[in-house]
Structure 1
């Protein structure tokens, strides 16, 4: 079956709507530093409460999935390629800040998209 880019985009769009389990190890905000030629990933810690919601470990307040949240990141990781960033996070950082395999796979996909945007000059928006 020959897939078009529209079909593939629709598959990914549909999969982006699924429920996911939040990683007790925390979450990442990914962005580009074009001037430095870097993919950046800020890591934020969180605690998952008994409802399955991420809460700020300092305040106990729920961290909203949408909108602006003022929090301080625990670590910032940078790399020029997706692979370099994955090695830093998953192989060199102990203990690893990612505790779920689906979260690791998601980050790998996002880092590749960020790298492609860095190379092409297109905008990068984290899924």
Structure 2
């Protein structure tokens, strides 16, 4: 029998600190591409723009056309490959992961888990009328 330990209960501030620390860990990038997630409040949907990339030998995401590393913040305007939308996190996940129209653009399980978490955060912000900023 496998035993698991129960994590200790944390205060809301400690949970926020834990989440912030976990957001700064190293992650391998998905060669299937990346998403920019935002809310379209006028249409009450969560949007996820998919962009292709290649991963170079240093683990950096690069523009597939130029081979140049993609900056982490602003600066480069790229054309997305597709925009997925959903009224809920679940609807958006189904559009991305279960579509028969196109191959799934996500190739790594940790990327899929990250997207699920972000889509739930976006849905909650949409419902509450709050700002959403992708982690």
TM-score by length of 1: 0.96
2:107 aligned partner: 99
For 1:31 and 1:24, the matched residues in 2 are separated by 22
Looking at CA atoms only, which structure, 1 or 2, has the larger radius of gyration?
Answer: 2
For 2:99 and 2:46, the matched residues in 1 are separated by 17
Is residue 3 from structure 1 mapped to residue 10 from structure 2 by the alignment? yes
Matching residue within 55, 58, 62 for 1:51:
58
Aligned Cα RMSD in Å?
Answer: 1.0
2:86 aligned partner: 79
Runs (4+) of structure 1 moved beyond 3 Å? Answer: none
2:34 aligned partner: 27
Number of aligned residue pairs: 127
Please state whether the residue corresponding to 2:65 is helix, strand or coil: coil
Q: CA deviation at 1:12?
A: 0.5
TM-score by length of 2: 0.90
Please state whether the residue corresponding to 1:114 is helix, strand or coil: helix
For 2:19 and 2:9, the matched residues in 1 are separated by 16
Q: CA deviation at 1:53?
A: 0.6
1:114 aligned partner: 122
Gaps of 5+ in 2: 1-7
Matching residue within 55, 66, 70 for 2:73:
66
Please state whether the residue corresponding to 1:92 is helix, strand or coil: coil
Gaps of 5+ in 1: none
